[in-house]
Structure 1
Protein backbone atom coordinates (compact mmCIF):
# COMPACT_ATOMS: atom_id res chain seq x y z
CA UNK A 1 0.00 0.00 0.00
CA UNK A 2 1.31 3.45 -0.89
CA UNK A 3 1.50 5.56 2.26
CA UNK A 4 0.25 9.15 2.11
CA UNK A 5 3.71 10.32 3.25
CA UNK A 6 5.07 9.01 -0.07
CA UNK A 7 2.77 11.39 -1.95
CA UNK A 8 3.00 15.08 -2.77
CA UNK A 9 -0.38 16.47 -3.77
CA UNK A 10 -0.55 19.26 -6.32
CA UNK A 11 -3.51 21.44 -7.20
CA UNK A 12 -3.44 22.58 -10.81
CA UNK A 13 -4.35 26.27 -10.88
CA UNK A 14 -2.11 27.44 -13.69
CA UNK A 15 -4.63 27.92 -16.49
CA UNK A 16 -5.90 31.09 -18.13
CA UNK A 17 -9.53 30.62 -17.11
CA UNK A 18 -10.62 31.40 -20.64
CA UNK A 19 -14.07 29.85 -20.17
CA UNK A 20 -14.47 31.82 -16.93
CA UNK A 21 -13.99 35.11 -18.78
CA UNK A 22 -10.29 35.17 -17.94
CA UNK A 23 -10.88 34.99 -14.19
CA UNK A 24 -8.46 32.91 -12.17
CA UNK A 25 -10.70 29.92 -11.39
CA UNK A 26 -8.93 28.88 -8.22
CA UNK A 27 -9.66 32.28 -6.68
CA UNK A 28 -13.31 32.50 -7.77
CA UNK A 29 -15.49 32.39 -4.67
CA UNK A 30 -17.73 29.43 -3.98
CA UNK A 31 -19.71 29.35 -0.75
CA UNK A 32 -17.82 32.39 0.51
CA UNK A 33 -14.34 30.93 -0.04
CA UNK A 34 -11.97 30.71 -3.00
CA UNK A 35 -12.70 27.54 -4.94
CA UNK A 36 -9.20 26.24 -4.35
CA UNK A 37 -9.82 26.29 -0.59
CA UNK A 38 -12.44 23.56 -1.00
CA UNK A 39 -9.97 21.44 -2.95
CA UNK A 40 -7.24 22.01 -0.34
CA UNK A 41 -9.58 20.90 2.45
CA UNK A 42 -10.20 17.60 0.68
CA UNK A 43 -6.72 16.98 -0.72
CA UNK A 44 -4.27 18.08 1.98
CA UNK A 45 -5.00 15.18 4.39
CA UNK A 46 -4.37 12.68 1.57
CA UNK A 47 -0.67 13.50 1.14
CA UNK A 48 2.46 14.24 3.11
CA UNK A 49 2.92 17.57 1.33
CA UNK A 50 0.72 19.86 -0.75
CA UNK A 51 1.80 22.35 -3.40
CA UNK A 52 -0.04 24.65 -5.79
CA UNK A 53 0.77 25.16 -9.46
CA UNK A 54 -0.11 28.72 -10.51
CA UNK A 55 1.14 31.19 -13.12
CA UNK A 56 -0.54 34.42 -12.02
CA UNK A 57 -1.85 36.01 -8.82
CA UNK A 58 1.03 34.29 -7.10
CA UNK A 59 0.77 36.35 -3.92
CA UNK A 60 -2.86 35.31 -3.48
CA UNK A 61 -1.95 31.65 -3.83
CA UNK A 62 1.07 31.96 -1.55
CA UNK A 63 -1.23 33.47 1.08
CA UNK A 64 -2.97 30.09 1.29
CA UNK A 65 0.08 28.81 3.15
CA UNK A 66 1.41 26.24 0.70
CA UNK A 67 4.39 26.31 -1.67
CA UNK A 68 3.53 27.69 -5.12
CA UNK A 69 5.36 26.57 -8.25
CA UNK A 70 5.14 28.06 -11.72
CA UNK A 71 5.33 26.29 -15.06
CA UNK A 72 8.85 26.05 -16.42
CA UNK A 73 7.40 26.50 -19.93
CA UNK A 74 6.11 29.93 -20.88
CA UNK A 75 2.73 30.69 -22.36
CA UNK A 76 0.18 28.63 -20.38
CA UNK A 77 1.09 25.30 -22.00
CA UNK A 78 -1.52 23.27 -20.13
CA UNK A 79 -1.59 20.90 -17.15
CA UNK A 80 1.34 18.78 -18.31
CA UNK A 81 3.63 21.81 -17.93
CA UNK A 82 2.55 22.13 -14.31
CA UNK A 83 2.99 18.42 -13.72
CA UNK A 84 6.53 18.52 -15.12
CA UNK A 85 7.39 21.51 -12.93
CA UNK A 86 6.21 19.54 -9.90
CA UNK A 87 8.07 16.37 -10.83
CA UNK A 88 11.24 18.47 -11.01
CA UNK A 89 11.00 19.69 -7.41
CA UNK A 90 9.13 17.21 -5.22
CA UNK A 91 10.92 14.87 -2.81
CA UNK A 92 8.38 12.05 -2.72
CA UNK A 93 8.10 9.15 -5.18
CA UNK A 94 4.53 10.01 -6.22
CA UNK A 95 2.62 13.09 -7.35
CA UNK A 96 -1.14 13.27 -6.81
CA UNK A 97 -2.83 15.78 -9.14
CA UNK A 98 -6.21 17.46 -9.02
CA UNK A 99 -7.54 20.63 -10.68
CA UNK A 100 -8.55 23.69 -8.70
CA UNK A 101 -12.06 23.74 -10.19
CA UNK A 102 -13.35 20.42 -8.79
CA UNK A 103 -14.70 21.33 -5.34
CA UNK A 104 -16.43 17.97 -4.82
CA UNK A 105 -13.11 16.08 -4.69
CA UNK A 106 -13.33 12.63 -2.99
CA UNK A 107 -11.61 12.21 0.36
CA UNK A 108 -10.18 8.84 -0.70
CA UNK A 109 -8.71 9.92 -4.04
CA UNK A 110 -5.10 9.19 -3.13
CA UNK A 111 -5.94 5.86 -1.53
CA UNK A 112 -7.97 4.58 -4.47
CA UNK A 113 -5.46 5.74 -7.05
CA UNK A 114 -2.61 4.19 -5.08
CA UNK A 115 -4.44 0.88 -4.75
CA UNK A 116 -5.22 0.86 -8.47
CA UNK A 117 -1.59 1.61 -9.36
CA UNK A 118 -0.33 -1.31 -7.31
CA UNK A 119 -3.11 -3.83 -7.95
CA UNK A 120 -3.14 -3.27 -11.71
CA UNK A 121 0.63 -2.78 -12.00
CA UNK A 122 0.18 0.39 -14.01
CA UNK A 123 2.76 2.99 -14.94
CA UNK A 124 0.43 5.67 -13.62
CA UNK A 125 -3.10 5.73 -12.24
CA UNK A 126 -6.03 7.92 -13.29
CA UNK A 127 -9.69 8.19 -12.38
CA UNK A 128 -12.44 6.62 -14.47
CA UNK A 129 -15.91 7.87 -13.54
CA UNK A 130 -17.77 4.94 -15.09
CA UNK A 131 -18.18 6.66 -18.45
CA UNK A 132 -15.10 8.78 -19.04
CA UNK A 133 -11.43 8.93 -18.21
CA UNK A 134 -10.60 11.85 -15.90
CA UNK A 135 -6.88 12.29 -16.51
CA UNK A 136 -6.49 15.49 -14.46
CA UNK A 137 -7.05 13.33 -11.37
CA UNK A 138 -3.95 11.18 -11.41
CA UNK A 139 -1.22 9.55 -9.36
CA UNK A 140 2.05 9.86 -11.24
CA UNK A 141 5.37 8.29 -10.22
CA UNK A 142 8.34 10.66 -10.32
CA UNK A 143 10.05 8.00 -12.45
CA UNK A 144 8.00 9.28 -15.42
CA UNK A 145 9.58 12.73 -15.27
CA UNK A 146 12.02 12.17 -18.15
CA UNK A 147 9.30 10.57 -20.28
CA UNK A 148 7.05 13.60 -19.77
CA UNK A 149 9.85 16.02 -20.51
CA UNK A 150 10.56 14.27 -23.80
CA UNK A 151 6.86 14.35 -24.69
CA UNK A 152 6.69 18.11 -24.12
CA UNK A 153 9.94 18.74 -26.00
CA UNK A 154 8.31 17.11 -29.03
CA UNK A 155 5.66 19.84 -28.91
CA UNK A 156 2.94 17.60 -27.50
CA UNK A 157 0.61 19.09 -24.89
CA UNK A 158 -2.41 16.82 -24.44
CA UNK A 159 -2.73 15.28 -20.99
CA UNK A 160 -5.12 12.53 -22.11
CA UNK A 161 -2.83 11.45 -24.94
CA UNK A 162 0.21 11.31 -22.66
CA UNK A 163 -1.68 9.21 -20.12
CA UNK A 164 -2.95 6.83 -22.79
CA UNK A 165 0.58 6.30 -24.07
CA UNK A 166 1.30 4.42 -20.83
CA UNK A 167 0.00 1.34 -19.09
CA UNK A 168 -2.88 2.91 -17.21
CA UNK A 169 -4.29 1.77 -13.91
CA UNK A 170 -7.88 2.94 -13.50
CA UNK A 171 -9.43 3.95 -10.19
CA UNK A 172 -13.12 3.13 -10.55
CA UNK A 173 -15.33 5.98 -9.36
CA UNK A 174 -18.51 4.89 -11.10
CA UNK A 175 -20.11 5.08 -7.63
CA UNK A 176 -19.63 8.87 -7.46
CA UNK A 177 -18.98 10.36 -10.90
CA UNK A 178 -20.38 13.71 -9.77
CA UNK A 179 -17.30 14.17 -7.56
CA UNK A 180 -15.28 15.02 -10.65
CA UNK A 181 -17.57 17.69 -12.05
CA UNK A 182 -15.51 20.79 -12.67
CA UNK A 183 -16.70 24.36 -12.76
CA UNK A 184 -15.68 25.95 -16.04
CA UNK A 185 -17.83 29.05 -16.23
CA UNK A 186 -20.09 31.38 -14.30
CA UNK A 187 -23.24 29.43 -15.26
CA UNK A 188 -21.83 26.18 -13.85
CA UNK A 189 -20.79 28.01 -10.70
CA UNK A 190 -24.35 29.26 -10.21
CA UNK A 191 -25.81 25.81 -10.88
CA UNK A 192 -23.44 24.23 -8.37
CA UNK A 193 -24.49 26.68 -5.66
CA UNK A 194 -28.19 26.61 -6.57
CA UNK A 195 -28.36 22.81 -6.38
CA UNK A 196 -26.85 22.91 -2.92
CA UNK A 197 -23.90 20.79 -4.00
CA UNK A 198 -21.84 22.54 -1.42
CA UNK A 199 -18.27 21.31 -0.96
CA UNK A 200 -16.79 20.26 2.33
CA UNK A 201 -16.96 23.16 4.81
Structure 2
Protein backbone atom coordinates (compact mmCIF):
# COMPACT_ATOMS: atom_id res chain seq x y z
CA UNK A 1 0.00 0.00 0.00
CA UNK A 2 1.24 3.48 -0.83
CA UNK A 3 1.51 5.68 2.25
CA UNK A 4 1.11 9.43 2.27
CA UNK A 5 1.45 11.25 5.55
CA UNK A 6 0.30 14.58 6.91
CA UNK A 7 2.08 16.19 9.85
CA UNK A 8 0.59 17.33 13.15
CA UNK A 9 2.67 19.61 15.34
CA UNK A 10 1.55 19.20 18.94
CA UNK A 11 1.60 22.42 20.94
CA UNK A 12 -1.25 21.82 23.36
CA UNK A 13 0.79 21.27 26.52
CA UNK A 14 0.36 23.52 29.54
CA UNK A 15 4.11 24.05 30.17
CA UNK A 16 3.68 24.03 33.95
CA UNK A 17 7.39 23.48 34.57
CA UNK A 18 8.13 26.61 32.55
CA UNK A 19 5.58 28.66 34.45
CA UNK A 20 2.92 28.36 31.76
CA UNK A 21 2.77 29.89 28.29
CA UNK A 22 4.02 28.56 24.96
CA UNK A 23 7.43 26.91 25.16
CA UNK A 24 7.64 26.73 21.40
CA UNK A 25 7.41 30.52 21.06
CA UNK A 26 10.30 31.22 23.42
CA UNK A 27 13.32 32.51 21.54
CA UNK A 28 16.25 30.12 21.44
CA UNK A 29 19.49 31.26 19.84
CA UNK A 30 17.74 33.93 17.83
CA UNK A 31 14.51 32.27 16.79
CA UNK A 32 11.46 30.60 18.38
CA UNK A 33 11.76 26.95 19.31
CA UNK A 34 8.99 26.12 16.83
CA UNK A 35 11.05 27.67 14.03
CA UNK A 36 13.95 25.39 14.96
CA UNK A 37 11.64 22.40 14.51
CA UNK A 38 10.28 23.67 11.18
CA UNK A 39 13.76 24.46 9.87
CA UNK A 40 15.29 21.17 10.96
CA UNK A 41 12.89 18.35 10.07
CA UNK A 42 12.44 17.37 6.42
CA UNK A 43 8.70 17.82 5.93
CA UNK A 44 8.96 17.19 2.16
CA UNK A 45 6.00 19.46 1.32
CA UNK A 46 3.59 17.33 3.31
CA UNK A 47 0.44 18.96 4.73
CA UNK A 48 1.09 20.40 8.20
CA UNK A 49 -1.31 21.45 10.96
CA UNK A 50 -0.47 22.96 14.33
CA UNK A 51 -2.54 21.69 17.25
CA UNK A 52 -2.71 24.48 19.83
CA UNK A 53 -5.35 25.69 22.25
CA UNK A 54 -6.08 29.34 22.92
CA UNK A 55 -5.79 32.26 20.50
CA UNK A 56 -4.44 30.95 17.18
CA UNK A 57 -3.29 34.46 16.19
CA UNK A 58 -0.11 34.04 18.24
CA UNK A 59 1.09 31.57 15.60
CA UNK A 60 0.16 33.74 12.61
CA UNK A 61 3.80 34.33 11.62
CA UNK A 62 4.24 30.63 10.83
CA UNK A 63 1.51 30.50 8.16
CA UNK A 64 0.11 27.17 9.35
CA UNK A 65 -3.48 26.09 9.98
CA UNK A 66 -4.09 25.97 13.74
CA UNK A 67 -6.68 23.70 15.36
CA UNK A 68 -7.63 23.47 19.02
CA UNK A 69 -8.32 20.12 20.69
CA UNK A 70 -11.57 18.56 19.56
CA UNK A 71 -12.19 17.49 23.18
CA UNK A 72 -13.06 20.05 25.84
CA UNK A 73 -10.71 20.32 28.79
CA UNK A 74 -7.06 19.33 28.80
CA UNK A 75 -7.03 15.64 27.89
CA UNK A 76 -3.31 15.31 27.27
CA UNK A 77 -1.43 14.34 24.10
CA UNK A 78 -4.04 11.80 23.00
CA UNK A 79 -6.44 14.71 22.52
CA UNK A 80 -3.96 16.34 20.19
CA UNK A 81 -3.40 13.13 18.27
CA UNK A 82 -7.16 12.65 17.92
CA UNK A 83 -7.50 16.25 16.74
CA UNK A 84 -4.81 15.59 14.17
CA UNK A 85 -6.29 12.34 12.89
CA UNK A 86 -9.73 13.91 12.50
CA UNK A 87 -8.25 16.98 10.78
CA UNK A 88 -6.38 14.78 8.30
CA UNK A 89 -9.48 12.66 7.64
CA UNK A 90 -11.58 15.78 6.98
CA UNK A 91 -9.06 17.84 5.02
CA UNK A 92 -6.45 15.55 3.45
CA UNK A 93 -8.37 12.75 1.80
CA UNK A 94 -5.29 11.42 0.00
CA UNK A 95 -3.33 10.94 3.24
CA UNK A 96 -3.37 7.47 4.75
CA UNK A 97 -1.19 8.31 7.77
CA UNK A 98 -0.30 11.08 10.16
CA UNK A 99 3.01 11.83 11.83
CA UNK A 100 2.78 13.52 15.23
CA UNK A 101 5.61 15.43 16.83
CA UNK A 102 6.05 17.75 19.77
CA UNK A 103 7.23 21.30 19.16
CA UNK A 104 9.55 21.74 22.13
CA UNK A 105 12.40 19.59 20.77
CA UNK A 106 14.86 21.67 18.71
CA UNK A 107 17.29 18.85 17.86
CA UNK A 108 14.95 16.45 16.06
CA UNK A 109 16.42 14.17 13.39
CA UNK A 110 16.18 15.61 9.90
CA UNK A 111 14.96 12.23 8.62
CA UNK A 112 12.43 11.71 11.42
CA UNK A 113 9.37 11.44 9.18
CA UNK A 114 10.92 9.16 6.59
CA UNK A 115 12.32 6.79 9.19
CA UNK A 116 9.08 6.59 11.16
CA UNK A 117 7.33 5.68 7.92
CA UNK A 118 9.86 2.93 7.24
CA UNK A 119 9.00 1.48 10.64
CA UNK A 120 5.68 0.34 9.20
CA UNK A 121 7.25 -1.61 6.36
CA UNK A 122 6.96 -4.98 8.14
CA UNK A 123 3.26 -4.63 8.89
CA UNK A 124 3.16 -2.65 12.12
CA UNK A 125 0.17 -0.39 12.78
CA UNK A 126 2.07 2.37 14.58
CA UNK A 127 5.77 3.27 14.80
CA UNK A 128 7.24 5.39 17.60
CA UNK A 129 10.63 7.01 18.00
CA UNK A 130 13.15 5.71 20.52
CA UNK A 131 16.52 7.04 21.64
CA UNK A 132 18.93 5.45 24.11
CA UNK A 133 16.35 2.84 25.26
CA UNK A 134 13.69 5.50 25.93
CA UNK A 135 10.51 5.53 23.86
CA UNK A 136 8.99 8.82 22.74
CA UNK A 137 5.30 8.02 22.10
CA UNK A 138 4.38 11.54 20.93
CA UNK A 139 6.81 11.19 18.00
CA UNK A 140 4.99 8.57 15.96
CA UNK A 141 3.23 7.66 12.75
CA UNK A 142 -0.44 6.68 12.92
CA UNK A 143 -2.96 5.32 10.40
CA UNK A 144 -5.72 7.85 9.82
CA UNK A 145 -8.13 4.91 9.97
CA UNK A 146 -7.61 4.79 13.76
CA UNK A 147 -9.47 8.08 14.28
CA UNK A 148 -12.80 6.52 15.26
CA UNK A 149 -11.19 3.97 17.58
CA UNK A 150 -9.16 6.70 19.28
CA UNK A 151 -12.21 8.91 19.77
CA UNK A 152 -14.00 6.01 21.45
CA UNK A 153 -10.96 5.24 23.61
CA UNK A 154 -10.59 8.84 24.79
CA UNK A 155 -14.25 9.72 25.26
CA UNK A 156 -15.92 6.42 26.14
CA UNK A 157 -13.04 4.60 27.82
CA UNK A 158 -11.41 7.65 29.39
CA UNK A 159 -7.90 6.84 28.10
CA UNK A 160 -5.32 9.57 28.64
CA UNK A 161 -2.00 7.78 28.11
CA UNK A 162 -0.67 7.10 24.65
CA UNK A 163 0.80 3.79 25.83
CA UNK A 164 -2.63 2.55 26.92
CA UNK A 165 -3.96 3.11 23.42
CA UNK A 166 -1.01 1.84 21.41
CA UNK A 167 -0.96 -1.35 23.52
CA UNK A 168 -4.10 -2.35 21.63
CA UNK A 169 -2.20 -2.42 18.32
CA UNK A 170 1.03 -3.65 16.76
CA UNK A 171 3.32 -0.78 17.75
CA UNK A 172 7.05 -0.81 17.00
CA UNK A 173 9.92 1.53 17.78
CA UNK A 174 12.49 3.16 15.50
CA UNK A 175 15.88 3.84 17.09
CA UNK A 176 17.58 7.23 16.75
CA UNK A 177 20.92 8.42 18.15
CA UNK A 178 22.73 11.73 18.31
CA UNK A 179 24.38 14.34 20.52
CA UNK A 180 22.49 15.90 22.11
CA UNK A 181 19.71 13.35 22.34
CA UNK A 182 17.62 14.20 19.25
CA UNK A 183 14.48 14.12 21.39
CA UNK A 184 15.78 16.42 24.11
CA UNK A 185 12.78 18.57 24.97
CA UNK A 186 12.69 21.90 26.74
CA UNK A 187 10.67 21.56 29.92
CA UNK A 188 12.59 23.78 32.34
CA UNK A 189 14.66 26.97 32.12
CA UNK A 190 17.81 24.88 32.63
CA UNK A 191 16.93 22.92 29.49
CA UNK A 192 17.00 26.14 27.47
CA UNK A 193 20.44 26.98 28.85
CA UNK A 194 21.73 23.55 27.84
CA UNK A 195 20.16 23.81 24.37
CA UNK A 196 21.85 27.18 23.81
CA UNK A 197 25.20 25.59 24.71
CA UNK A 198 24.70 22.92 22.05
CA UNK A 199 23.48 25.39 19.43
CA UNK A 200 26.39 27.75 19.93
CA UNK A 201 29.10 25.11 19.83
CA UNK A 202 31.19 25.01 16.65
CA UNK A 203 29.54 22.60 14.19
CA UNK A 204 32.46 20.16 14.32
CA UNK A 205 31.87 19.74 18.06
CA UNK A 206 28.19 18.81 17.69
- What's the counterpart of residue 151 of structure 2? 149
Q: CA deviation at 1:43?
A: 3.3
Equivalences for residues 120-131 of structure 1 within 5 A = 121-131=123-133
Separation of aligned partners in 2, 1:197 and 1:86:
34
**CA 1:21–1:129: 2 relative to 1, 3 Å:** same
- How does the TM-score come out when normalised to structure 2? 0.87
- What's the counterpart of residue 164 of structure 2? 161
Give the aligned CA root-mean-square deviation in angstroms.
2.1
SS at match of 2:106: coil
Structure 1 contact 131–174 (Cα < 8 Å) conserved: no
Separation of aligned partners in 2, 1:55 and 1:70:
5
**CA 1:18–1:124: 2 relative to 1, 3 Å:** same
Tell me, yes or no, if structure 1 residue 74 matches structure 2 residue 72.
yes
- How does the TM-score come out when normalised to structure 1? 0.89
Q: CA deviation at 1:118?
A: 1.4
**CA 1:134–1:2: 2 relative to 1, 3 Å:** farther
Separation of aligned partners in 2, 1:165 and 1:20:
33
Structure 1 contact 44–50 (Cα < 8 Å) conserved: no
How many residue pairs get aligned? The number is 196
- What's the counterpart of residue 119 of structure 2? 116
1:158-199 per-residue CA deviation (whole Å, 9 max, x = no partner) reads: 11222233211221214667101111011111111124367x
Structure 2 contact 9–49 (Cα < 8 Å) conserved: yes
Separation of aligned partners in 2, 1:40 and 1:147:
30
Tell me, yes or no, if structure 1 residue 16 matches structure 2 residue 14.
yes
1:36-95 per-residue CA deviation (whole Å, 9 max, x = no partner) reads: 111112336245111100002410113310111110112221111111111112111111
Separation of aligned partners in 2, 1:197 and 1:174:
20
Tell me, yes or no, if structure 1 residue 178 matches structure 2 residue 176.
no
Structure 2 contact 127–171 (Cα < 8 Å) conserved: yes
Separation of aligned partners in 1, 2:200 and 2:159:
36
Moved more, 74-83 or 95-104: 74-83
SS at match of 1:180: coil
SS at match of 1:72: coil
SS at match of 2:57: helix
